[in-house]
Amino acid sequence: MGGQPSHVISPMPIGKTVIITGGNTGIGYEVAKGVAMLGAKVILAVRTEERGKSALAKMKADYEERKKGGDCYDIVVRDELDVQYHICDLTSLKSTMQFISWFKSTVLTEDQWESTYQVNYLAHFLMISEFLPAVCASDVECRIVIISSQNHMQAEFDPEYAASSRMKKFDGFNSYANCKLFQIQLMYSLDKVLEHHPHIDVLSVDRGKLDAMAFPNSDASSQGFSCQMSCLKCCGGMRDDRPGADTVIFAALDPALQGLSRGYFLRPRDKARPAPCIIL
Ligand SMILES: NC(=O)c1ccc[n+]([C@@H]2O[C@H](COP(=O)([O-])OP(=O)(O)OC[C@H]3O[C@@H](n4cnc5c(N)ncnc54)[C@H](OP(=O)(O)O)[C@@H]3O)[C@@H](O)[C@H]2O)c1
């Protein structure tokens, strides 16, 4: 009894978030404290401000005492624990939904955009917009290749997406699919804007399927996404990096594409029609 814990002790990955209901007292408190001391970012879902504040104060004091004791072989030693609380009264589904919405909103970027949207679309849009004046002013041939995905076909197209991306109704897969749809739309829109600049071509490709994805909110991704990835694995539908890269290199360099613009390719020389909702 007492002494060393009977569970495996290993530090939590940096930035790993753990939500604990009932974490302000009893076993929930001890679990919260245990994982917080292993380095996790812990969120206590508690009923009232008072309960949250008192649990935080107690946990902080426990941690300080533990560090003072010097026997820190099974904890991560740092200035303070990464613990916070947020109101979640489980007897109220409204309160529970409010907690869920609040938590989802914490996966916004520092610019307050949903991160899948910002990483896949907005940041690239900004980069292209800022480089474009210089590229237009020069007469050097240039291609912009936008990496989209056949997943854009499954987007539940939401023209208000940019506004709703502020986490009002976040769904990981649909967010990704919408971004990929917007990227192809961006190709067509840019092509119109650049009609008097024939030395600039804009193309888009699907780079094939892989395990990893530019999917920053994957923890919050939908069941649909995991299901699709599992099916692709089972059916051998995953492509490795090389063939995907070939399609990108083809779009960027193949001399036969010069002056084509507005092409969406699934593979080298395999031009495809994008989703019907795209405005050509
Ligand atoms: N994987 C697929 O099955 C698939 C299918 C169709 C289309 N695509 C598209 O193909 C592209 C590449 O995807 P991938 O799966 O091959 O690669 P990935 O694992 O998603 O990451 C590709 C690169 O993006 C970087 N990156 C991610 N987030 C970033 C951020 N916030 N700031 C700067 N760099 C960041 C990564 O850098 P770090 O190493 O620093 O994270 C990595 O170098 C994406 O546009 C994706 O949507 C992928």
Task: Indicate the range of 145-149, 158-162, 186-190, 219-223 predicted with least confidence.
Answer: 219-223
- What separation in Å is there between the alpha carbon of 80 and the centre of ligand 1? 33
- What separation in Å is there between the alpha carbon of 197 and the centre of ligand 1? 30
Strand positions, DSSP E, the chain:
17-21, 41-46, 82-87, 142-148, 200-206, 263-267, 270-271
Gyration radius from the chain CA atoms: 24
Q: Which of 210, 247, 267 to probe ligand 1 with, by most ligand atoms within 8 A of CB?
A: 210
Q: From the CB of 210, is ligand 1 less than 6 Å away?
A: yes
Mean pLDDT over all residues of the chain?
Answer: 84
| Listed residue (95, 198, 64, 219) closest to 143, CA to CA | 198
User: If you search the block for the tokens 């990496």, which residue do you land on?
Assistant: 147
Beta-carbon neighbour count of residue 198 at 10 Å? 11
130-135-136-137 Cα dihedral, nearest 10 degrees: 110
The residues pairing with 263 across neighbouring beta strands, listed in sequence order, are 203
- What separation in Å is there between the alpha carbon of 60 and the centre of ligand 1? 38
pTM of the model: 0.67
Q: Which of 115, 118, 125, 149 to probe ligand 1 with, by most ligand atoms within 8 A of CB?
A: 149
Closest residue by Cα to atom 38, ligand 1, is: 214
| Listed residue (249, 109, 278, 103) closest to 186, CA to CA | 278
Find the mean pLDDT for residues 6-27. 84
Q: From the CB of 232, is ligand 1 less than 6 Å away?
A: no
Cα 227 to its chain centre, rounded Å, is 17
Provide the residue count of the chain.
280
User: If you search the block for the tokens 């530090």, which residue do you land on?
Assistant: 11
Beta-carbon neighbour count of residue 143 at 10 Å? 17
- What separation in Å is there between the alpha carbon of 91 and the centre of ligand 1? 41
**pLDDT single digits (tens) 248-266:** 999 999 999 999 889 999 9
Instruction: Locate the ligand 1 atom nearest the alpha carbon of residue 241 and give its number.
Output: 16
> Is there a contact between 243 and 208 (Cβ–Cβ < 8 Å)?
yes
Q: Could you give the CA distance from residue 194 to residue 135 in angstroms, rounded to a whole number?
A: 11
> Is there a contact between 179 and 149 (Cβ–Cβ < 8 Å)?
no
> Is there a contact between 115 and 140 (Cβ–Cβ < 8 Å)?
no
- What separation in Å is there between the alpha carbon of 40 and the centre of ligand 1? 25
Q: Which domains does the chain have, with CATH numbers?
A: 17-105 (3.40.50.720), 115-271 (3.40.50.720)
Q: Could you give the CA distance from residue 20 to residue 43 in angstroms, rounded to a whole number?
A: 6
For residue 244, which amino acid is it? G
> Is there a contact between 201 and 258 (Cβ–Cβ < 8 Å)?
yes
| Listed residue (222, 120, 115, 121) closest to 173, CA to CA | 222
Q: From the CB of 213, is ligand 1 less than 6 Å away?
A: yes
> Is there a contact between 251 and 263 (Cβ–Cβ < 8 Å)?
yes
Task: Indicate the range of 10-14, 193-197, 214-218 predicted with least confidence.
Answer: 214-218
**pLDDT single digits (tens) 172-183:** 788 889 899 999
